[in-house]
Structure 1
């Protein structure tokens, strides 16, 4: 299945630059190290990841997850080729209750 309205998915770049790719974030720094070491991704080239997430949201295979009071959750796994390597990534999405467009929750290397 496809992510509902994946072509309209909302990606807040701060989720990536201030968390997933931030070596300074208490929780995100471990993800950031992996992104940098395995793929060559940093806060400075976050657009590469944003573009890949947009493509994955629009055309990747989505797996429907749990629904709760916040909304319906999905995951989309995809292969990503960064400046210095390739890896499978998992992107987590939510269609918030009362809304129709998915929003990025997080992403990480599998």
Structure 2
């Protein structure tokens, strides 16, 4: 597990309804960070159904979901759980914080 936080962007560069992708500096994992009405959430940028980046899909802030463009699997951005087939497994959820005017995240898996 990494204790190093990865800078995503300046806080003002991730507005409500937007998402940004960063790569964990230690593990190299792609992480997509969402701004949902001022609350920040981070998921692995990888569909659990088929290894494809979620950030290519549609983020729906009203439903708090991201839909994989490849096969239509949807995930709750708040906890990573799969909401419909063809995905059944959740997507990894990561911590995210606001600090020193920036948005930060990290891959905290063992």
Same fold by TM-score greater than 0.5: no
Q: TM-score, normalised by structure 2?
A: 0.33
